[in-house]
Amino acid sequence: MGIPECAWDWKCSDDEYLPAVLSEFILMDWEFYNRLEIVRKEYETLRLMDIKILNLKELEIFEYICNVYKRHVMHQRRYYTLDFMSRLFNKCSIKELISLLDHYERRNHLKDRAVSLKRTWKKSRDDLSIRIQATLSQIEEISNEQRIKAEKHEHQKELCNLLKKQVQRWRKEKLEISELEEKENAKRRLQQEKAQALKKAKENKIRQATKAEITEYQLMKIKAKEQEEQNDANRLKYLRQLHAKQSFKDMARLKEAHSLYLSEIKQKKLSNYLEKERLANEREKRFESLRKKVRPSVLPDLNRLMSGTESWIIKADRSQENNENVSQNQLDNVNRFGAKLFTYTNAQLCADNRTRLTMALHNVGLLNSDYARLVLSNTTSNHPIRKDTITSKELHESLREPINN
């Protein structure tokens, strides 16, 4: 209790701060002492109340038995303790035994609380001493920093005074130097002004002479330009006259060439026309000779001339049959949707190589291209082409190929 003896050896720059901090030990001791005193008074009060019921020896026996039951009996300890006490102390009632047991448990709790308070008291004193030492070390560091700052400030102040004296001396020297420089500059300016005046006078003379030369050169240049313009005008006039004469000659030559060109065109057209007439006459002669060879010699027959040919008769019979079929179809028009549609299946269409190639070109977007036309022209169909579905030119070429081969 109280202030530790080692606390007075702790270093502190402030002599008034250390006693104020150490007084915290006394305040802490007073607070814990009051708590322990309250616990002790309550413990003594319970003890006196128990002595009124039992004497000291009986009370010691009671506490011993409670300790035994507390150590060895786990379940229903309170019940067995009261049962045994009622048998041992016949003079006490159950209510008094219950109060004695409650007081015993409360006194044990107060003992534990007193022990914990003492431990807390000791730990708090140790923590307080640690905090005070840390605070004192911080104060020592702060005081050292302040002392160092004060020393630096004093040193800085001395340096400032020294520099101030040096600056004052330098200003005086600079003022003297500036006065001397001003005098030298004034002398130099006078000399420069005199030299510039002489230089300007000399430059004015040179400038006047140069102006006169420039004026003379400009006049000479103007005269030369006028003479050159006069020569150009004369040359232009001569060239125009020469061009007029030459243009007249060229126009006559062009007219002559144009007339020759027209005569050649007429002669060419005439020769072409005569050649065409000659070829047409020769062709007509050949055709006439062929007609004479193949023309049959028959007697004139007016009935034969007025009657129809075999092909016309066949065509007329077919048209009559078609008209009958149309009338029959009109009668059966009601059942036209019930009739079967005979056409090719997808498998039959896709079996053809040319059809598959056409579909593939259409899918890639190359059907309308030169490449597609070239590929399709070289691709033959699996089925032979009907003769009535091709043109006469294609038929002629197909018939010529076996002959040429």
DSSP per position, 55-107: -HHHHHHHHHHHHHHHHH--SSHHHHHHHHHHHH-TTS-HHHHHHHHHHHHHH
Confidence of residue 181 (pLDDT cuts 50, 70, 90): confident
377 has a pLDDT exceeding 70: yes
Mean pLDDT of 78-85: 65
Measured CA to CA, the distance from residue 325 to residue 51 in angstroms comes to: 146
Measured CA to CA, the distance from residue 242 to residue 238 in angstroms comes to: 6
39 has a pLDDT exceeding 60: yes
**Among candidate residues 381, 376, 375, the one with its CA nearest the CA of residue 348:** 381
Measured CA to CA, the distance from residue 221 to residue 183 in angstroms comes to: 55
Given a contact cutoff of 8 angstroms between Cβ atoms, the answer to whether 343 and 368 are in contact is: no
Max avg pLDDT among 1-5, 16-20, 27-31:
27-31
Measured CA to CA, the distance from residue 63 to residue 70 in angstroms comes to: 10
Q: Which two tokens stand for residue 70?
A: 């507390």
Mean pLDDT of the chain: 75
State the pLDDT at residue 279: 93
In 119-214, the DSSP E strands lie at none
Question: 292-303: b or e for each residue (b if 16 or more CB lie within 10 Å)?
Answer: eeeeeeeeeeee
Sign of the alpha-carbon torsion through 319, 321, 322, 327: positive
390 has a pLDDT exceeding 60: no
**Among candidate residues 171, 42, 191, the one with its CA nearest the CA of residue 117:** 42
Residue pLDDT, tens place only, 101-124: 767 777 777 777 777 777 777 777
Measured CA to CA, the distance from residue 341 to residue 344 in angstroms comes to: 10
Q: Which two tokens stand for residue 148?
A: 């160092």
Confidence of residue 71 (pLDDT cuts 50, 70, 90): low
Which helix (H) or strand (E) is 110 found in, with range? Answer: helix 94-294
CB atoms within 10 A of CB 354: 14
Sign of the alpha-carbon torsion through 224, 228, 231, 233: negative
State the pLDDT at residue 174: 87
State the pLDDT at residue 402: 45
CA separation, residue 210 to residues 200, 213, 215, 216 (Å): 15, 5, 9, 10
Q: What angle do CA 62, 65, 69 make, to 5 degrees?
A: 140
Q: Report which of residues 111 and 221 the model is more confident about.
A: 221
3-class DSSP state of 379: coil
- Which residue shows structure tokens 């400038």? 207
Given a contact cutoff of 8 angstroms between Cβ atoms, the answer to whether 38 and 116 are in contact is: no
Given a contact cutoff of 8 angstroms between Cβ atoms, the answer to whether 65 and 78 are in contact is: no
CB atoms within 10 A of CB 360: 13
State the pLDDT at residue 275: 93
Q: Report which of residues 174 and 57 the model is more confident about.
A: 174
Domain residue limits, the chain: 5-163, 347-382
Query: What is the percent of the chain where pLDDT is above 90?
Result: 5
Tell me the chain's radius of gyration from C-alpha atoms. Answer: 74
Confidence of residue 403 (pLDDT cuts 50, 70, 90): very low
294 has a pLDDT exceeding 90: no
Sign of the alpha-carbon torsion through 121, 126, 127, 132: positive
Max avg pLDDT among 8-17, 92-101, 363-372:
363-372
CA separation, residue 366 to residues 286, 331, 353, 359 (Å): 50, 48, 17, 10
358 has a pLDDT exceeding 70: yes
